[in-house]
Structure 1
């Protein structure tokens, strides 16, 4: 697959670059450039990112960072079985358990919420950092909802991290998930309160909490150009156009 000339491979994380040092330099550079493209396209063009991840995987399947990148690209394109296999491979290579929550979410994607809940109660969760534990809680709540256990999903999300006033990278998503679960359970006034709290924490627009809040408040968004403005523009155009008598032969 073509790679823009401005992509050198030097853009990748230094830890990944260190992993690639086990490869011949030319090969390492090729793999690095493909990994850069995976990272660059993952959000905007998941299918494109997936294509580059397959190239990197073909070139260096024994590099853990490559397996992890391939996993995230497959996950972004909802190829959950493939993603899970890649994440498992990366975990075997490194012994790192950071991927545990996303592996559990892959189980959800494969229609196995019970397995995701089993993983949420596994010893590995205690080895996760705070962000990983919050992510695991979100996955577990999602699994409960998959099983139509709304009350259990709400309880799962109730935690010190949810109640904290400080804003962390996960705060908006956690509050949003809680609000959404409350709304699904028919607790609309509480849901509105937590959507508002999610808006306060969502500094980079990672959720659509503001839209959900507006919807609950009955706010309707209309086009900038109203019918009246359209009529005014039409009349203005008519005024600017020469009349039949003014037109030149």
Structure 2
């Protein structure tokens, strides 16, 4: 990104960089704020591919899928890279076009993706299947060497989580529980709510430790009244 900005006058490049930095800082916690900064960067340097890509992700985070797809397409035309192919397909899902997402999942571009990109494409394809109420097909789509592998990669937790969620949607609760547990093992940074889903399947109920007024600890219940219930 820094190299791309070198094509701009230094003062302008600095202004664009500041807005891109703020976009990156806010996108996970304040999507609207990130979008605002991305739009400023886009206004200042619309001919820079990295700016187009950042604007696309900011729009995507705000569920502005039409806009995100347009920005990703522009960035791809400018660079020739295929890295954005999975998120472009997911934008098609967001637009209510899961069939188009599946078409993209079978395109030659997928073979040019690295392993992480291919896994991401598999997740998008499975999501598209579920959009079309094809849960069993979604399960089959997620079954892969990456899912079966015991090594933990950046995508492992999300892949296992998606598989568990699809199994649960198919009514295969015992298998779903097993895979939610495996997702928890791989989810080192808490990127999913797999632990909550696992607790829910195990019948664990979390209750507030404060009373209704929030002034102190709740009175303990009678013995056996909350059997099987954990508290945090």
TM-score (norm 2): 0.92
Q: Which residue of 2 aligns with 1:247?
A: none
Q: Which residue of 2 aligns with 1:180?
A: 165
Alignment of 1:58-69 (within 5 A): 58-69=43-54
Q: Which residue of 2 aligns with 1:246?
A: none
Q: Using the alignment, how far apart are the partners of 2:108 and 2:10 within structure 1?
A: 39
Q: Which residue of 2 aligns with 1:50?
A: 35
Q: Using the alignment, how far apart are the partners of 1:77 and 1:229 within structure 2?
A: 39
Shift of 1:223: 1.2
Q: Which residue of 1 aligns with 2:62?
A: 77
Counterpart check, 1:111 vs 2:96:
yes
Q: Using the alignment, how far apart are the partners of 1:94 and 1:229 within structure 2?
A: 59
Q: Using the alignment, how far apart are the partners of 1:155 and 1:113 within structure 2?
A: 17
Q: Using the alignment, how far apart are the partners of 1:91 and 1:195 within structure 2?
A: 35
CA 1:62–1:222 in 2, change beyond 3 Å: closer, same or farther? same
8 Å contact from structure 2 (residues 209, 218) kept in 1: no
Q: Which residue of 2 aligns with 1:189?
A: 174
CA 1:226–1:88 in 2, change beyond 3 Å: closer, same or farther? same
Alignment of 1:1-249 (within 5 A): 16-225=1-210, 229-230=217-218
- Secondary structure of the structure 2 residue equivalent to 1:90: helix
Q: Which residue of 1 aligns with 2:229?
A: none
Task: Flag the structure with larger Rg.
Answer: 1
User: Per-residue CA shift, 1:112-168, capped at 9, x if unaligned?
Assistant: 000000000000000000000000000000000000000000000000000000000
Q: Using the alignment, how far apart are the partners of 2:183 and 2:23 within structure 1?
A: 30
User: Per-residue CA shift, 1:70-126, capped at 9, x if unaligned?
Assistant: 000000000000000000000000000000000000000000000000000000000
List structure 1 segments (4+ residues) > 2 angstroms apart after TM superposition. Answer: 225-232
Shift of 1:231: 5.7
Q: Using the alignment, how far apart are the partners of 1:98 and 1:134 within structure 2?
A: 12
CA 1:200–1:230 in 2, change beyond 3 Å: closer, same or farther? closer
Shift of 1:225: 2.8
Q: Which runs of 5+ in 1 are unaligned?
A: 1-15, 233-249
TM-score (norm 1): 0.85
User: Per-residue CA shift, 1:3-43, capped at 9, x if unaligned?
Assistant: xxxxxxxxxxxxx1110011111000000000000001000
Q: Using the alignment, how far apart are the partners of 1:28 and 1:188 within structure 2?
A: 53
Q: Using the alignment, how far apart are the partners of 2:58 and 2:186 within structure 1?
A: 28
CA-based RMSD of the aligned residues comes to: 1.3
